[in-house]
Structure formats: structure tokens, C-alpha cells
Amino acid sequence: MKDKIYKELSTIVDPEVGFDIVSLGLIYDVKVDGEKAMVTMTLSTRSCPLHELILSWVNDAVLRVDGIKECDIELVWEPAWNIEMANDEVKKALGA
């Protein structure tokens, strides 16, 4: 089930950076308890102008997974996101 959730989350592209939020390393954890999913995540900056929109996209993506009826999102700032959390493809593309 977690793999299906990660697959749906990987369809969400951060419009400011142009990469999906999973590849960027913004998703810290996904837990599933019955029909409820809990996503722990961050954003690239605290001042992200698309904060609410991205959280809405995450909620919608998780609820597209068969068997999931509820999604709780915990937005955290620690550890603070940095480019080292992204996958190698993203790091290379962004010159890190």
C-alpha cells in the first residue's frame, strides 16, 4: 500500500523546481493504518507560496489509492530540507 501511495505522490511536481516531491526528498515518511494514511513531509522553504496547494495535491493523491479513505498530513520543518535529500537525478540536474 505504501508503494502505491509513493507512486501517486511522485505525480506531484513542485512547480517552482520542476521535479516531483518524492524525488526532491520532501516526503519523509508514509504510514498506513487500515484505511488511513499518514504522510510526514516538508516543503523546500517555509515561505513556499504554494504551501496550501501542494498540501491539497498530496491529500488528493493519497486518496486516489484504493483502500485509503483518510489522509493526515504532518508538515514538519525539522529536519530542514536541503538538496542532499533529493535523489541523484535531481541533484545532478540542479548542479548539486
Condensed to tens digits (0 to 9), the pLDDT of residues 44-85 reads 888 888 899 999 999 999 999 999 999 999 999 999 999 999
Q: Does residue 96 lie in a domain region?
A: no
**Rounded Cα gap, residues 24 and 30, in angstroms:** 15
**Cell output for 9:** 505522490
For residue 95, tell me if it sits in a domain: no
Helices and strands, counts by H and E, the chain: 3, 5
Q: How many domains does the chain have?
A: 1
pTM for the model: 0.92
Helices 2-9 and 51-63, packing angle to 10 deg: 140
Single out the residue of 26, 8, 6 nearest to residue 16, CA to CA.
Answer: 26
Looking at residue 81, the DSSP 8-state letter turns out to be P
**Predicted local distance difference test score (pLDDT) of residue 44:** 87
Cell reading at 1? 500500500
Q: Per-residue pLDDT for 96 more than 80?
A: no
Which CATH number belongs to the domain containing residue 11 in this structure? 3.30.300.130
What is the extent of the structural domain holding 8? 1-84
**Is residue 24 one of the residues assigned to a domain?**
yes
* Location of C-alpha cell 508514509: 30
- The phi, psi pair for 3, rounded to 5°, reads -60, -40
Q: Dump pLDDT digits (tens) for 10-34.
A: 999 988 889 999 999 999 999 999 9
Within-domain flag for 92: no
